């Protein structure tokens, strides 16, 4: 019975197959990038010479900087098309379906979509492996054997992606089970407490203190743990504080709005600050990473003169690692922006059709959509970079952070991240046109 209803439940609605393709695509991207990161890093842990620890330490930093944003993107993928699912589930509840039935349907659908995406991600990883094997470290390519993960790791990552989707589905069911009518009529309003900001401030201050404690770290394991906790904790807390800050700014913009596009943009953000954050969270993570990339290249540039061959090789590998980390980050951002922009249009298709029937020009709707993304983007990009600089201050001092090369790299990464989002908005403009024209 559950399987039959789940099959009918998963059939595309008026939005077509996009509501199914988007989550699958997002899960495939997350799985493929995560496996690529793990495959590239595993070689460093097979080295046992004196300089191996340096490579392992840098690998931990790169893994934390990439895995935390990937986990965030995975959570966003699990929530894609949630409105469509909530609407259908709440309708079933109003028709008499039990909470157990609703829960089973939600978990089955989310798990199946995640499994399909994860399998696609494994295939994507195998396509990337030959290119990843050519990346040089310590004077020679990593090789196929060095980057190829075993089947237990592939199965574990796939199972983790499916579990993430199932947990997200269960957590999202609370409002459906408690108040199906409120969900169906969209009467729920997001509630974001100031405690988010308080917790975020505490975590950032703790990370700052941890970076200062690195100088007295007693062992290599403690050093790695401090770096992972400091960087990972700060990155993770961005997802906690970001929606609260965006909501606070949007409230002020709504009060000061003088044009329809400004008011519509502010109200769009206030409708769901978490959804607005997901549109720009990828760039927020990249901005955080830009500071590390800029400072790292500045250190390599200053220390590159008058050193031995082994040190020159290390510095060259650091440049390679920074480049790979930044490129991986931008791949994540580009995929996240494209999927989230398309999902945002599908989620608000009824609103766009209603506005079209009321006579609002498509240009005004697109201007509001762009403003609803670009305004939070500027805040989060600059804020994330400032937080990263603050956390790194005990390690590098102010001189390295404001070194010209570091500032150039940070500015270039920020500009590229904003450009990727702008291109994502432009690429999804035709989808907005088709959605609003559907009412005509």
Among the listed residues 13, 191, 180, 10, the one whose alpha carbon sits nearest the alpha carbon of residue 86: 180
What is the tens place of the pLDDT at every residue in 166-175? 777 676 555 5
- Say what the pLDDT of residue 181 is: 45
| Total count of residues recorded for the chain | 440
- Rounded-to-10 torsion of CA 206, 235, 82, 154: -120
For residues 44 and 130, membership in a common domain is answered with yes
Kindly tell me if the per-residue pLDDT of 214 is higher than 60: yes
**Residues 10, 344: Cα–Cα separation, whole Å:** 19
Whether residues 178 and 209 fall in one domain? no
Range of the domain at 156: 1-188
- Percent pLDDT > 90 in the chain is 4
CA–CA dist 106, 152 (Å, integer):
28
CA nearest to 389, candidates 283, 294, 321, 315: 294
340/424 Cα distance (integer angstroms): 9
Number of domains in the chain: 2
What digits encode the pLDDT tens for the residues 289-344?
788 778 777 777 776 555 667 777 777 787 788 777 777 777 777 777 777 777 77
Tell me, what's the pLDDT at 12?
54
| Residue 389 sits in the same domain as residue 342 | yes
| Alpha carbon 288 to chain centroid, angstroms | 12
Task: In whole angstroms, give the CA distance from residue 438 to residue 440.
Answer: 6
Looking at the structure, do residues 155 and 175 belong to the same domain, yes or no? yes
Last residue of a domain, one of 188, 204, 219: 188
Closest CA to 61 of 295, 230, 275, 239: 230
Return left, alpha or beta for 152; rule: phi > 0 is left, psi -120 to 50 is alpha, else beta.
alpha
More confident residue, 241 or 88: 241
- Identify which of 333, 344, 341 has the alpha carbon closest to the alpha carbon of residue 414: 333
Are residues 321 and 288 both part of a single domain? yes
- Predicted confidence (pLDDT) per residue in 63-109, tens digit: 777 776 666 666 666 665 454 555 566 666 666 666 666 667 767 77
Does residue 368 share a domain with residue 250? yes
Check whether 246 has a pLDDT greater than 70.
Answer: yes
Residues 57 and 93 reside in one and the same domain: yes
Model confidence at 140: pLDDT above 90: no
The pLDDT assigned to 176 comes to 47
Q: What is the pLDDT of residue 177?
A: 47
Tell me the sheet residues that pair with 141: 136
Give the model's pLDDT for residue 122: 94
Our measurement of the distance from residue 362's CA atom to the centroid of its chain's CA atoms, rounded to an integer in Å, reads: 29
Q: What is the SS3 string spanning 78-100? A: HHCCHHHHHHHHHHHHHCCCCHH
Banded pLDDT at 183 (limits 50, 70, 90): very low
Model pLDDT, residue 292: 77
Residues 282 and 426 in one domain: yes
Q: What is the mean pLDDT of residues 396-419?
A: 80
C-alpha 310/C-alpha 295 separation (Å) is: 21
Which of 188, 214, 241 terminates a domain? The answer is 188
> Dihedral of the CA atoms 350, 353, 357, 360 (nearest 10)?
110
pLDDT reported for residue 228: 74
Q: Are residues 138 and 207 in the same domain?
A: no
CA distance 299 to 256: 45
Could you tell me which residue, 312 or 32, shows the higher pLDDT? 32
242-261: average pLDDT: 88
From 30-39, 107-116, 187-196, the region with the lowest mean pLDDT:
187-196
Tell how far CA 71 is from the center of its chain. Answer: 7
**CA 166 – CA 80 distance, rounded (Å):** 13
Closest CA to 372 of 264, 257, 258, 252: 264
Among 412, 421, 392, residue whose Cα is nearest residue 281:
421
At residue 193, what are phi and psi to the nearest 5 degrees?
Answer: -85, 155
Q: Are residues 25 and 129 in the same domain?
A: yes
CA 19 from centre of chain:
19
User: Looking at the structure, do residues 163 and 306 belong to the same domain, yes or no?
Assistant: no
198: Cα within 13 Å, side-chain hemisphere: 4
Judgement on whether residues 287 and 308 belong to the same structural domain of the protein: yes
Of the residues 188, 212, 233, the one at which a domain ends: 188
């Amino acid at each position: 019975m559950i399987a039959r209803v789940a099959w009918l439940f998963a059939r595309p609605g008026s939005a077509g197959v996009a509501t199914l393709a988007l989550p699958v695509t997002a899960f495939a991207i997350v799985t493929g990038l995560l496996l690529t990161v793990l495959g590239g890093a595993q070689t460093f842990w097979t080295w046992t010479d004196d300089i191996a620890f340096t490579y392992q330490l840098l690998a931990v930093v790169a893994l934390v900087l990439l895995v935390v944003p990937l986990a965030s993107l995975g959570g966003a993928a699990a929530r894609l098309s949630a409105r469509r699912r909530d609407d259908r589930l709440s309708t079933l509840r109003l028709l008499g379906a039990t909470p157990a039935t609703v829960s089973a349907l939600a978990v089955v659908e989310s798990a199946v979509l995640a499994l399909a995406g994860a399998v696609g991600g494994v295939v994507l990883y195998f396509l990337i492996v030959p290119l990843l094997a050519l990346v040089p470290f310590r004077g020679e390519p990593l090789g196929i054997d060095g980057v190829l993960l075993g089947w237990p790791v592939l199965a574990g990552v796939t199972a983790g992606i499916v579990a993430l989707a199932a947990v997200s589905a269960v957590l999202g069911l609370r409002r459906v089970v408690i108040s199906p009518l409120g969900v169906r009529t969209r009467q729920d309003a997001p509630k974001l407490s100031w405690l988010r900001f308080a917790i975020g401030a505490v975590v950032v201050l703790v990370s700052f203190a941890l970076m200062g404690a690195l100088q007295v770290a007693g062992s290599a394991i403690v050093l790695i743990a401090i770096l992972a906790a400091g960087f990972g904790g700060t990155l993770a807390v961005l997802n906690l504080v970001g929606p609260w800050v965006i909501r606070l700014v949007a409230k002020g913009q709504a009060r000061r709005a003088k044009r329809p596009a400004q008011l519509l943009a502010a109200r769009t953000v206030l409708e769901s600050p978490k959804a607005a954050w997901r549109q720009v969270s990828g760039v927020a993570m990249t901005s955080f990473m830009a500071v590390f990339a800029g400072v790292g290249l500045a250190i390599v540039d200053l220390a590159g003169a008058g050193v031995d061959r082994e040190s020159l090789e290390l510095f060259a590998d650091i440049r390679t690692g920074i480049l790979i980390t930044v490129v991986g980050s931008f791949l994540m951002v580009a995929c996240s922006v494209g999927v989230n922009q398309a999902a945002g249009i599908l989620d608000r298709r009824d609103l766009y059709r209603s506005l079209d029937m009321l006579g609002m020009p498509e240009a005004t709707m697109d201007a509001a959509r762009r403003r609803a993304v670009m305004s939070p983007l500027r805040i989060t990009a600059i804020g994330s970079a400032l937080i990263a600089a603050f956390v790194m201050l005990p390690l590098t001092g102010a001189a390295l952070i404001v070194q010209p090369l570091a500032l150039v790299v940070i500015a270039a990464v920020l500009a590229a991240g904003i450009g990727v989002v702008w291109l994502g908005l432009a690429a999804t403009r035709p989808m907005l046109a088709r959605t609003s024209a559907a009412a005509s």
